[in-house]
Amino acid sequence: MEIKIETNELLDRLPPHLKQYIKPQNYEQYTPINQAVWRYVMRKNVDYLAKVAHESYLGGLKKTGISIDEIPSMYGMNRILKEIGWAAVAVDGFIPPNAFMEFQAYKVLVIASDIRQLENIEYTPAPDIIHEGAGHAPIIASPDYAEYLRRFGEVGAKAISSAHDIDMYEAVRELSILKEAEGISQELINAAEARVEELQNKKVKPSEISLIRNLHWWTVEYGMVGTVENPKIYGAGLLSSIGESVWCMKDEVKKIPYSIDAAYQDFDITKPQPQLYITPDFAYLQEVLEEFANTMAVRKGGWRGLKKLIKSKQLGTIEISTGLQISGNFSRMIKNEDNEVVYFETEGETALSYREKEVIGHGILRHKKGFRSPLGKLKGINLAIENMGPRDLQAYNFYDGKPIEFEFESGITVAGLNVTGIRNLRGELMLIQFTDCTVKYKNEVLFSPEMGDFDMAVGKEIVSAFAGAADYNSFDLETHNATSETIRPQLSEKEIELNSLYKKVREIRNSEEINTTKLQQIFKILGENHPTDWLLPLEIYELVSENNSDFSQEVLKHLLNLKKQRPKVAHLIEGGMELLEMKTKEVIN
């Protein structure tokens, strides 16, 4: 069933395997308390971040259509983001890292549409609309940063993952869901935290996706720009956290000049960061990204790249020197004494492509049981097959419809009936089809006539290896099933009543005249039925503090008592009251 979402040209371009992650925002699910949480965080952030955030932040809020007073809608954001060449989609919490990166490559912001609970107002490990919408979106108004984000997506989408990465993704996703859900036992949360910690402490060689995820964390999520002595915030994790945006400026947090070394610095999403990296400007982020990309299999290829794909047990692609791309689950390789790949295999559905387009007749229907091929030069012949012209091919008995037998330098032999060949745009042979074919290596039969036609990839070497398919249309990629789903809260009668009180205060604030009598009635019910709630009395005090009446003094006294009764939220109450004091001074001045 197709999801009905508001769209634009950028969203229309998204491939089906990305569209499967898009969810409706369901704006009506946001409760009045959710709206109050958004407003509190945004008011605190804008006040504080005006002093410490990158200069593009405040202007970016306006450019991206993000309101301080209410949670943004995807429709409104898309309408305005279109003006700067971007779009936004709603998703359910964490999505797989490669998919997240690929969205960025298409200039689409992924926004988790849920919002943190009031108890987690300062920070949540779960992605939410405060983090994504108020953190990521404003900074893309900076053209240099927006291009870095897009380019990062292109590079990151090609990064090869490991089985450990998949386990880690699922564990972190589950933990973030449990921490934001209501009524979850501490026992379950502890078990989920222990699982994440166990995986974090597991000694495994870091994969490409884990290294690039580190770079993403220390720049896009927790990056600072400027100098070590005078840094400014641009990372979404800092911009969206009223706790960490203050914490990060303290001397206790070590400030380090940004470099490729950040790829090897792990992080813990459950704790404030003990160190942060400072880039001199956004252009330098691109330099480090390209430096890292030069270490990746997508640019280096070779046996190391293929080995990464085999270990990943995920769909991946190799490209050989003729430009032929083989996409599938790689299972085996044979190397020569110089560590050159002389043979490879995939298992299961495989497709062949050229320049990211499937080669006609060589999709998963033809190669549903895998693909295998030798690589390299022929024995005793200096000229590689791919470099042979028509006369060269005839000289070495490569005739269509004729039997042929030849041996590679590796010792792999091929004997069969040469049917036809496919050439690339340069006129080089990149694929030869044989029937009645036998392929041997030493005493092992690698392919026999009973297995059908033999399609041999032509190429000297592997020049690139990367995650995913060369042509995403070759495979059914619309099959992602997360092992955990966001738990939607079922409100109790008491919670429904509290939300109705928040709604009434919101309506009074938005009206032309402040109805003090109604506010007094609301405050009375609040004190009787919800005495520990701190945010609504703060909102009421905001509306009546200027008149210095008996009622405003009563609300103030209640807030001061709450600070003593609930020391964990005392600083949040204090923060809200400071905003009111500043507002009063502005009016006086």
What is the per-residue pLDDT across 408-448, written as a single tens digit (0 to 9) for each? 999 999 999 998 889 999 988 999 999 999 999 999 999 99
Q: Which of 371, 373, 356 is nearest to 474 (CA)?
A: 356
Q: What is the mean pLDDT of residues 146-172?
A: 88
State residue 4's pLDDT score. Answer: 47
Contact between 68 and 39 (Cβ < 8 Å): yes
**Domain enclosing residue 551, as ranges:** 493-588
pLDDT of 481 > 80? The answer is no
CA distance 355 to 299: 15
What percentage of residues in the chain have a pLDDT greater than 90?
56
Same domain, 20 and 164: yes
pLDDT of 2 > 90? The answer is no
CA distance 405 to 431: 16
Same domain, 276 and 366: no
Q: What is the mean pLDDT of residues 365-380?
A: 94
State residue 186's pLDDT score. Answer: 83
State residue 48's pLDDT score. Answer: 86
Same domain, 284 and 337: no
Same domain, 274 and 328: no
The pair of three-digit structure tokens given for residue 222, joined into one six-digit string: 């927790």
State residue 181's pLDDT score. Answer: 66
What is the pLDDT confidence band of residue 272, given thresholds at 50, 70 and 90?
A: confident
Residue 415 lies in a domain: yes
pLDDT (tens digit, 9 = 90+) per residue, 58-96? 888 878 778 889 998 888 888 888 888 898 888 887 788
Same domain, 458 and 521: no
State residue 555's pLDDT score. Answer: 95
Q: How far is CA 293 from CA 99, 158, 298, 412, in A?
A: 18, 10, 8, 34
Same domain, 284 and 303: no
What is the pLDDT confidence band of residue 588, given thresholds at 50, 70 and 90?
A: very low
What is the pLDDT confidence band of residue 349, given thresholds at 50, 70 and 90?
A: very high
Q: What is the mean pLDDT of residues 253-265?
A: 96
What is the pLDDT confidence band of residue 125, given thresholds at 50, 70 and 90?
A: low
What is the pLDDT confidence band of residue 485, given thresholds at 50, 70 and 90?
A: low
The pair of three-digit structure tokens given for residue 274, joined into one six-digit string: 């003990």
pLDDT of 126 > 80? The answer is no
What is the pLDDT confidence band of residue 3, given thresholds at 50, 70 and 90?
A: very low
State residue 478's pLDDT score. Answer: 66
pLDDT (tens digit, 9 = 90+) per residue, 23-61? 888 888 899 999 999 999 889 888 888 889 998 888 888
Same domain, 392 and 265: no
Q: Where are the alpha helices (DSSP H) in 202-281?
A: 208-216, 236-239, 244-247
CA distance 83 to 381: 59
Same domain, 181 and 285: yes
State residue 559's pLDDT score. Answer: 95
State residue 400's pLDDT score. Answer: 75
Same domain, 75 and 130: yes
* Collapsed DSSP state (helix, strand, coil) of residue 417: strand
State residue 167's pLDDT score. Answer: 80
Same domain, 532 and 391: no
CA distance 514 to 188: 45
Same domain, 414 and 280: no
State residue 482's pLDDT score. Answer: 52
State residue 59's pLDDT score. Answer: 85
Q: Sign of the C-alpha dihedral, residues 137, 139, 141, 143?
A: negative
Residue 132 lies in a domain: yes
Exposure letters 256-266 (e unless 16+ CB within 10 A, then b): eebeeebbeee
Q: How does strand 87-91 pair with strand 108-112? A: parallel
Residue 470: alpha-carbon gap to chain centroid = 20
pLDDT of 489 > 80? The answer is no
* Collapsed DSSP state (helix, strand, coil) of residue 445: strand
CA distance 135 to 155: 22
What percentage of residues in the chain have a pLDDT greater than 70?
94
Of the residues 473, 505, 526, the one at which a domain ends: 473
Q: What is the DSSP letter of 55?
A: T
Residue 370 lies in a domain: yes
Of the residues 271, 290, 309, the one at which a domain ends: 290
pLDDT of 380 > 50? The answer is yes
Residue 485 lies in a domain: no
Residue 285 lies in a domain: yes
Q: What secondary structure does DSSP assign to 128-170, as a single string?
A: -HHHIIIIIHHHTTSHHHHHHHHHHHHHHHT----HHHHHHHH
The residues that bridge with 429 in the sheet, in sequence order, are 423
pLDDT of 402 > 70? The answer is yes
Q: How far is CA 294 from CA 291, 308, 469, 515, in A?
A: 5, 16, 20, 64
CATH number at residue 116: 1.10.800.10
pLDDT (tens digit, 9 = 90+) per residue, 456-469? 999 999 999 999 99
Q: How far is CA 166 from CA 19, 180, 209, in A?
A: 20, 22, 10
Q: Sign of the C-alpha dihedral, residues 251, 257, 258, 263?
A: negative
pLDDT (tens digit, 9 = 90+) per residue, 181-210? 666 778 888 888 888 878 777 778 889 999
pLDDT of 451 > 50? The answer is yes
What average pLDDT is seen over the chain? 88
Of the residues 473, 504, 538, the one at which a domain ends: 473
Name the more confident of 375 and 93.
Answer: 375
Least confident of 152-156, 236-240, 362-366, 455-459: 236-240
Q: What is the DSSP letter of 219?
A: I
Residue 478 lies in a domain: no
State residue 273's pLDDT score. Answer: 87
Same domain, 93 and 195: yes
Q: Which of 159, 235, 243, 165 is nearest to 202 (CA)?
A: 165
Q: How far is CA 208 from CA 107, 268, 311, 344, in A?
A: 22, 18, 12, 21
Q: What is the DSSP letter of 450?
A: G
Residue 486 lies in a domain: no
Residue 487 lies in a domain: no
CA distance 387 to 214: 42
> Domain total for the chain?
3
